[in-house]
Amino acid sequence: MGQNSVIVLLGASGNLAAKKLHRRGLLSDKLKIIGFDPTHMSHDDFIEHMKSCVDQSSPELEDYFKAFCERCSYITIKQDAGDDSFVELKNRMESFIEGDETQNRHFYMALPPSIYVAVSEQLHRNCYSEKGDSQIIFEKPFGHDLESSVELHKKLEPHWKESEIFRIDHYLGKEMVKNIMTLRFGNPMFGALWDCNHIDNVQISMTEDIGTEGRGGYFDDVGIIRDVMQNHLVQIMALTTMERPGSFSAEDLRQEKARVLRLVPPLEAKHTVAGQFIRTKDGKHPGYKDDDDVPEDSRCATFCTTVAYVRNARWENVPFILKSGKALSESKTEIRIQLKDTTDAMLRNTSHNQLIIRIQPNEAVRLKMNAKMPGLELRTVETELDLTYKQTVEDPDIPEAYEALLLDAFRGDYSESVSEEELEASWKIFTPLLHELEGNKDVVPAPYVYGKRSSKKP
């Protein structure tokens, strides 16, 4: 990013991860940041807002923040004023250009999906860079189901090419998710076992020990499947199951992920359990429907576990158990790969070998295996090889997910952007299940108490 570049944060009260890239010295001196939002704020108000989001606990951090603020400015979007605010944005960006130099423009859409199309049209009409690259950056959700996702793409297509659209799934920026390919393809001992001949099942889970915490109104329109499973868990599954790409280029990597997702049949309700959390007996933790913004008759799932299969020779008959939920007993995200039982009759009471990739918290890779119990008798004991980053790597520098993804976006590296083909394939997997769960009023999520571990399995 050594050339003239501008980052426009649409919905400037949203993500400000660019400040972390500044701390790492990864932003060009010529890069400028413009907040662009309907909230009426002066430049000083904008800086004060950012102060509340930034760690300034040391003089060094204070100096970083002051330098960061010198890059920043703010424009209040004048609603019902047509293109006027977008023309003002264009003029502001052009004021940063010196002579004949080119300028790259990155538009970060921290906005409600309902206005994606209208705003993207105005950006292209008024702010598209004529002498540099333009890029529009979206966060999930990308549609509500397959039909709406396809429709969204069709409406963006006349104005923005696929090579100019960066779709963020922030789980792709997490260190341990990025590590999946290295573990698979950089270690022959895992590669030799990575198939249905050796693996019994794969469990991919993301659970939280908090509820919707005042976001019930938003969550009720989304549910746990759209919020987590159709995007985060599917991307993890794709990285776990795809064939080795021809290279780690964006094109090859995204092509292999899309290819394996097309081999996953639509999920079935008979292999799915949905739940909704209720208040604790002591009333300390409220239930989902206790939120004032949630309808009393809501059938929104706050927990779901389901089983997916990949229809190819490598993964024949291997169940992939996907699980996600709120208000459970603990917060964690992990991949648990369970190998088949040993067939050696002389060894008794052995446990399944398991490879566990802990994505968060406490990033780790653990291998559960059997060993001989010390002593004169042949007895086995389960033991564990443990690579916990914070224990084995001194002061591990683990970047935040958005930090990694935004840097990729600014550099034009699309390897961790969700492609249109991946998106369409993932919606094909989940849309029939969503329609069945939501369209059939006889399907009511099973209640579970806030903070209790769900014991139901498909």
How far apart are alpha carbons 419 and 409 in whole angstroms?
Answer: 13
Neighbours of 46 (CB within 10 A): 22
Q: Can you give the pLDDT at residue 15?
A: 46
User: Over its length of 458 residues, how does the chain's per-residue pLDDT go in tens digits?
Assistant: 457 889 998 886 544 556 666 666 677 778 888 988 888 888 888 888 777 766 656 677 677 777 788 888 898 888 776 788 999 999 999 998 888 888 899 999 888 788 889 999 999 999 998 888 999 998 888 889 999 999 999 999 999 999 999 998 888 888 889 889 999 999 998 888 999 999 999 999 999 999 988 778 889 989 999 999 999 999 999 999 999 999 989 999 999 999 999 999 999 999 999 999 999 999 899 999 999 899 999 999 999 999 999 999 999 999 999 999 999 999 999 999 999 987 665 666 777 889 999 998 888 899 988 888 788 777 777 888 888 877 777 776 777 788 888 888 888 889 889 999 999 999 999 999 999 999 988 889 999 999 986 544 44
**Max Cα distance, the chain (Å):** 85
Token pair for residue 395? 């002061």
Question: Residues with Cβ < 8 Å from 408, sequence gap 6 or more?
Answer: 173, 414, 415, 416, 417
Catalytic positions: 232
How far apart are alpha carbons 178 and 173 in whole angstroms?
Answer: 7
Whole-prediction pTM: 0.89
| Of 171, 158, 168, the residue nearest 128 (C-alpha) | 158
Q: Can you give the pLDDT at residue 458?
A: 44
Find out whether 212 and 288 touch, Cβ atoms under 8 Å: yes
Q: Can you give the pLDDT at residue 422?
A: 95
SS3 306: strand
What secondary structure does DSSP assign to 78-139, as a single string?
-TTSTTHHHHHHHHHHHTT--TT---EEEEEE-S-GGGHHHHHHHHHHHH--SSS-EEEEEE
Q: Can you give the pLDDT at residue 97?
A: 87
Could you check whether the bond before residue 361 is cis, i.e. omega within 30 degrees of 0?
yes
Q: Can you give the pLDDT at residue 1?
A: 46
